A and B are shown apart, each in its own frame.
Chain A
């Protein structure tokens, strides 16, 4: 069982664990003597904490810098104790340690009382989803083992815990003198409760969430064809629930569905069912194109939320604040997507639970209630319903800088498009030839190239020239003006003399494009002055990331474009720069 020990700096976490290791005879032979010897050599008094603070810098400074895992055993079971640092500067290390724990011990110095990080850590423990907490009121020897001092801490901290929806048992202890750790000392006759050791053994083991709906983030799709293995294996770790051979399964956010054909194992007895906690693998009856990042769900159970907007509690560990208007990466389950901070609703100081409404950014060590917007829709559950699929991290500049839990989905503007798409994907009849085989035969990645720009800049000329060039080089390519859709596909919504409903028009264009991309084609489409909103509708309906925007001429709209082609350029030079883009993106290969 994993237990984290947290609390304010210098309140004695490492000392308690060190002493517990000694008193329960859990140290390897000679370790205690060796540490005592090192202390003597450096003319330092021996401290139990040195048994854990293994780093040279930690011993010099006398503080814990990074969480250590300590293996520890009682008569009842094995423990990994995660000794978390109490200094504010190392909060990210504390959070790292605590996010692996099933229960927590929180240490408060009886003399100093409740401090800033006693509260901050309490809040983090609650937010990380740990529900079992025992508070150790330490250094009782320094306050003459007085009950009233202990009670004062109990009252003050219980008030705080109520606010973060946690309940705890309190134990008066002394790390250096060893009171109430492994056994009762008799110096606190007024205390009749458990020792720390008994409290540890009383923590309940987390039960596997087997009764929740099935959730499995897809880690990968394996095809080891070069080793003569023809299986197409979906791999991932089951977060909640269970799944059996023959069950119908749906992948979100795409909405594609199939049936479980086999459950794959190696050097393990065959299984008919996979359950929460298992690193699993299975194959499907009907071959559908899915990839890492989708969330696998049982068809007859509650579906997850699908949206590009959601409200979440975020805690920020980056030194630079999280700000609106900047693109970050979000990782949730196995999905990774671009994300922006849309709005900060309130920011809270975790040390005193005071909140401010007036901030528009999230600073180092802030906890905030905010709204996020992802580039493409993601699948998730509110953390309250299913914790594992409701938590995420934010990555900036290659590092995890923030963590959060989702409170609720917020509808986005593309929800009407996505409803159609999910219906379509659910009922989609797959072709006998797989996407990969087709891509290999054509040696190209099916893609949509949107050539857009202001009126009369030569969009169609460029698009046709691109089509001709790629065709002459053996590519399967097709040019389609957006007007081609207007009188046929749009016949029912196009009234003479009036403009067509543009969002619906774009959705239909995207549906046509989706069919052509499924056929393996590189499709070149021209349209006047597409905006970011237009692009988002197209992205919601086209079943691939392979959409590239070419802006031709001056004065671009707010659309995210991949390349701008100058109008002054010779057509062939324009074609060349689009071709370079397609090569860079791996759509076509370099000669």
Chain B
């Protein structure tokens, strides 16, 4: 059993614990490589099925290929797909690209607020109807009490201190200085009404592990991660306004692995192409305490 096998087994165990303990369960799918690996692991855990809803927060500034890829996999794997969005802020043009908010405020409105209100069911959810092949208003407004997310502890400081099962209070806030203990493989699966639990099956994976696993399992990933001849590719995906491609020649998974192991990226932080991190003093703590993934 090698290191990737171990990571895979622990993640599947955590996914199964989540499914057994949370009646109203969903998984956040950002379309990026990490949450796509998570989706792949879910299909392994449940022997070909994904027995919960996938939630995507659409800021409307996502790179178009991401949405295309999302809907393709939704059809192909017959996923329960839901998206939510901050219509109010978009209509009021309260965003960074429109020049009416700084990066952090824009992130908070389009991502954190949209995420919190979509999870709680206060804002409309749009569910993919497979027979009609389109999204329609989801009649289900029940709050999700278990939320699976693909965060990894090597991404940034506050994520290095996360639990596998991490409690969020009534306002979705995270009390980072007073987290409950997590012993052996016993997690926080009991929660008070009105609160929810974030579940992090990928906490022990590194960026390199993710790519090695994508390679081993042949997992379909969005083409933005690869250089298509212009010497540029995305290392981390987000909104087109705040995420920038890096200079890289890697055209496929194997070349990315090589680049991460010994090439030019061996010593450069993954989220260095994300502008909002720099504005938060080099981390995401402020955003994450408030409910950001």
Contacts and interface: CB of A to CB of B under 8 A. Distances in A.
Interface string B180-202: 11111110111110000000000
B19 interface: yes
Given A66-B179, A95-B181, A279-B13, A38 B281 contact: yes
A277 B6 contact: yes
A54 to B, nearest CB: 2
Contact of A69 (B51, B181, B204): B204
Interface stretch (A151-159, A222-230, A553-561): A222-230
Interface string B252-292: 00000000000000011100100000000111010000000
B177 A400 contact: no
A96 B164 CA distance: 11
A398 interface: yes
Nearest to A224: B49
Contact of A399 (B12, B161, B176, B180): B180
Give the 5 A-B residue pairs with the shortest CB-CB distance, closest first.
A54-B157, A279-B12, A28-B269, A92-B181, A69-B153
Contacts, number: 154
B177 A55 contact: yes
A67 B43 contact: no
A268 interface: yes
Interface in A377-398: 388, 391-393, 395, 398
B1 interface: yes
B28 to A, nearest CB: 21
Given A31-B269, A219-B13, A279-B12, A66 B181 contact: no
Interface residues of B, number: 56
A446 interface: no
Interface stretch (A139-147, A175-183, A231-239, A243-251): A231-239
B206 interface: yes
Contact of B161 (A29, A67, A219, A231): A67
B56 interface: no
A69 B188 CA distance: 19
Contact of A400 (B17, B180, B267): B180
B262 to A, nearest CB: 12
Interface of A: 25, 27-31, 34, 38, 54-57, 65-71, 78, 80, 92-93, 95-96, 99, 208, 219-220, 222, 224, 227, 229, 231, 233, 235-237, 264-268, 277-279, 281, 292, 317, 329, 331, 334, 388, 391-393, 395, 398-400, 403
Contacts of A229: 47-49
A266 B48 contact: yes
Given A66-B176, A266-B47, A71 B206 contact: yes
A68 B155 CA distance: 12
A281 B43 CA distance: 13
B16 A29 contact: no
Contacts of A99: 182-184
Given A266-B43, A400-B183, A403-B183, A278 B9 contact: yes
Interface in B1-24: 1, 3, 6, 8-10, 12-13, 16-17, 19-20
Contact of A393 (B158, B183, B282): B183
A277 B13 CA distance: 10
B23 to A, nearest CB: 13
Contact of B9 (A96, A277, A392): A277
